[in-house]
Structure 1
Amino acid sequence: MKKKMLAAVLAVGMILSLAACGNGGNSGGSNNASASGQTQGEAKTEVDDTVQGVTDTEIKVGNTAAVSGAYAPVGVPFIAGIESYFKMINDQGGIDGRKITFVHKDDEFDPVKGKAYLQEMVEDEKVFAIVGHFGTPVVAATIDDLKSYGIPSVYFATGIGQLYAEHAETNADGYNLFPVQPIYTTEGQIMVARGIGTFNAKKIGIIYTSDDAGKDMLTGAKEKCEELGIEYVSEQVAAGAADVSAAVTSIKNANVDFVIVGAIQATMPTIVKEMASQGMTVPAITTYVNVSPAISEQVATDIAGKFDVYGNGWVSYDDERADNLALYQEWTDAEYADNAYAQTGWIAAAFFCEGLNRLAEEGKDVTWANYMAALEEAPLQNPFGGTIDYANGLRAGTQVMNLSKINASQPTGWELVDGLKSMDELFNVQ
Structure 2
Amino acid sequence: MKKLVLVFVMALTLMLAACGSSLPNLDVEELKVPAVPAGLVQGVTATTIKVGNTAPKTGGFAAVGIPFNAAIEAVFAEYNARQDVARKIEFVTYDDGSDASTGLTNTKKLVEEDKVFALVGHVGTGTVNATLPYILEKHIPMVYAATGINQLYFGDTPGNPVMAVQPIYKTDGRIAYARAISESLFGPNGDAKLATDAKVGVLYTNDDAGKSIASGIIEEAKNAKREKNLIVMSFLAETTESVVKSMLAKKPDVIIVAGNQAPFNQALTSLDDLGNTAPVITSYVNTNASTITVKDYGFDIYGSAWIDIVDPQGLYGFSAEYWAFVATMTAAGYGTVGAANNYTANAFAMAGYVAAKVFLAGLDRVGANELTFKSYITAMESAPIDIPMGGQIDFSDGMRWGISSMALSKLAFTAEVKGDNPATEGVVETDFVVSAAKHAFVKIRDIESLEQINAKR
CA distance, structure 2, for counterparts of residue 339 and residue 112 of structure 1:
32
CA distance, structure 1, for counterparts of residue 135 and residue 113 of structure 2:
15
CA distance, structure 1, for counterparts of residue 304 and residue 169 of structure 2:
11
In structure 2, give the amino acid aligned to 1:242: E
Which of 78, 90, 99 aligns to 1:88? It is: 78
**Shift in alpha-carbon separation, 1:374–1:227, aligned structure 2, 3 A:** farther
Contact 1:269 1:299 in 2 (8 A): no
Shift of 1:196: 4.5
Shift of 1:412: 0.7
In structure 1, give the amino acid aligned to 2:344: D
Cα deviation code 1:228-264 (max 9, x no counterpart): 5454523214234213343344464xxxx65433342
Contact 1:261 1:271 in 2 (8 A): no
Contact 1:93 1:99 in 2 (8 A): no
The residue number in structure 2 matching 1:365 is 370
The residue number in structure 2 matching 1:348 is 355
Cα deviation code 1:116-152 (max 9, x no counterpart): 3322221232211111122333333322211221211
CA distance, structure 2, for counterparts of residue 348 and residue 249 of structure 1:
42
In structure 2, give the amino acid aligned to 1:217: I
**Shift in alpha-carbon separation, 1:77–1:370, aligned structure 2, 3 A:** same
Aligned length: 369
The residue number in structure 2 matching 1:236 is 233
Q: Helix, strand or coil: the match of 2:222? A: helix
The CA RMSD measured in Å over matched residues stands at 3.3
**Shift in alpha-carbon separation, 1:182–1:272, aligned structure 2, 3 A:** farther
**Shift in alpha-carbon separation, 1:114–1:317, aligned structure 2, 3 A:** same
Contact 2:158 2:399 in 1 (8 A): no
The residue number in structure 1 matching 2:163 is 178
Cα deviation code 1:279-324 (max 9, x no counterpart): x5xx542223443267574562x23xxxx43222232322333443
Contact 1:296 1:414 in 2 (8 A): no
Which of 103, 111, 114 aligns to 1:114? It is: 103
After superposing the two structures, state which structure 1 stretch, 127-136 or 401-410, moved more.
Answer: 401-410
Contact 2:77 2:332 in 1 (8 A): no
Shift of 1:74: 4.0
Aligned pairs (5 A) from 1:346-425: 346-360=353-367, 364-408=369-413, 411-412=438-439, 414-425=441-452
Contact 1:403 1:416 in 2 (8 A): yes
The residue number in structure 2 matching 1:37 is none
Which of 281, 299, 310 aligns to 1:318? It is: 310
In structure 1, the gaps of 5 or more residues are 1-41
Q: Helix, strand or coil: the match of 1:242? A: helix
Q: Helix, strand or coil: the match of 2:91? A: strand
The residue number in structure 1 matching 2:332 is 332
Q: Helix, strand or coil: the match of 1:59? A: strand
The residue number in structure 1 matching 2:183 is 198
CA distance, structure 2, for counterparts of residue 248 and residue 76 of structure 1:
36
Larger radius of gyration: 2
Pair 1:209-2:204 in alignment: yes
Shift of 1:381: 2.2
**Shift in alpha-carbon separation, 1:388–1:224, aligned structure 2, 3 A:** farther
CA distance, structure 1, for counterparts of residue 37 and residue 388 of structure 2:
30
Contact 1:388 1:398 in 2 (8 A): yes
The residue number in structure 1 matching 2:132 is 143
CA distance, structure 1, for counterparts of residue 33 and residue 354 of structure 2:
29
Q: Helix, strand or coil: the match of 1:383? A: coil
Shift of 1:220: 0.9
Contact 1:94 1:100 in 2 (8 A): no
CA distance, structure 1, for counterparts of residue 293 and residue 101 of structure 2:
36
**Shift in alpha-carbon separation, 1:328–1:425, aligned structure 2, 3 A:** farther
Contact 1:293 1:414 in 2 (8 A): no
The residue number in structure 2 matching 1:169 is 157
**Shift in alpha-carbon separation, 1:289–1:125, aligned structure 2, 3 A:** closer
Shift of 1:351: 1.0
CA distance, structure 2, for counterparts of residue 294 and residue 344 of structure 1:
15
**Shift in alpha-carbon separation, 1:390–1:222, aligned structure 2, 3 A:** farther
**Shift in alpha-carbon separation, 1:262–1:112, aligned structure 2, 3 A:** closer
Shift of 1:187: 0.8
The residue number in structure 2 matching 1:125 is 114
**Shift in alpha-carbon separation, 1:386–1:294, aligned structure 2, 3 A:** same
CA distance, structure 1, for counterparts of residue 455 and residue 126 of structure 2:
38
The residue number in structure 2 matching 1:309 is 301
TM-score, normalisation: structure 1:
0.74
The residue number in structure 2 matching 1:19 is none
After superposing the two structures, state which structure 1 stretch, 323-332 or 48-57, moved more.
Answer: 323-332
CA distance, structure 1, for counterparts of residue 64 and residue 283 of structure 2:
20
CA distance, structure 2, for counterparts of residue 242 and residue 266 of structure 1:
8
In structure 2, give the amino acid aligned to 1:177: V
The residue number in structure 2 matching 1:276 is 276
Contact 1:237 1:247 in 2 (8 A): no
CA distance, structure 2, for counterparts of residue 296 and residue 416 of structure 1:
20
In structure 2, the gaps of 5 or more residues are 1-30, 185-192, 312-318, 337-341, 416-437
TM-score, normalisation: structure 2:
0.70
In structure 1, give the amino acid aligned to 2:366: L
